[in-house]
Amino acid sequence: MNTTHIVHPGEVLTIVADAVASGNLVRLSDAGVEPIATTPVSASSTLLIGPFSAVRRYRIEDVTGSLQSSVAVSDLPLAAVADAAAATAVAFPAGGTGTAAGGWDTASNRNLAITRFTALLADVADLRAQLNAALAKLRTAGILQ
């Protein structure tokens, strides 16, 4: 038997397969017709899908036995992700006159540019670490694949 569920923002779809039940979870298009992705559901397993920030449609297809499913408001705690550290990069120096205008015409300006470029790299690395931590938590919660 096939069952279709509409999962609203903040809700979670739960699928439970007992020892003899198996099937497929099919993500449907926004119109609820075309299949987008299929995830197998094996016997003796439980899947939690969501929560999402937009409406999602799913079809549950029984292959053996009967899969049990329900949709409910999520009680999953929101994952805390630390803020990125304060920026350390500042404006790059500009110097020179004439044809060297805007260039790093002195060793001092060159050294300032190197220091500021290094600070910019540190800022990017910090933002990247925060983004990767947030993505990992979203994948763990089943929100992203």
Q: Would you state the structure tokens that stand for residue 31, as one six-digit string? A: 């119109």
pLDDT in tens, 26-63: 999 988 778 889 999 999 999 888 888 889 999 999 99
pLDDT in tens, 63-116: 998 899 999 887 765 556 667 777 777 777 777 677 677 677 778 878 888 888
Give the global pTM: 0.52
Upstream peptide bond of 51 is cis (omega within 30 degrees of 0): yes
Chain position carrying tokens 């929101």: 78
CA atoms of 51 and 56, how far apart (whole Å): 10
Would you identify the CATH topology of the domain 2-73? Answer: Jelly Rolls (2.60.120)
Please report, for the chain, the start and end positions of each structural domain, with discontinuous segments joined by +: 2-73, 77-145
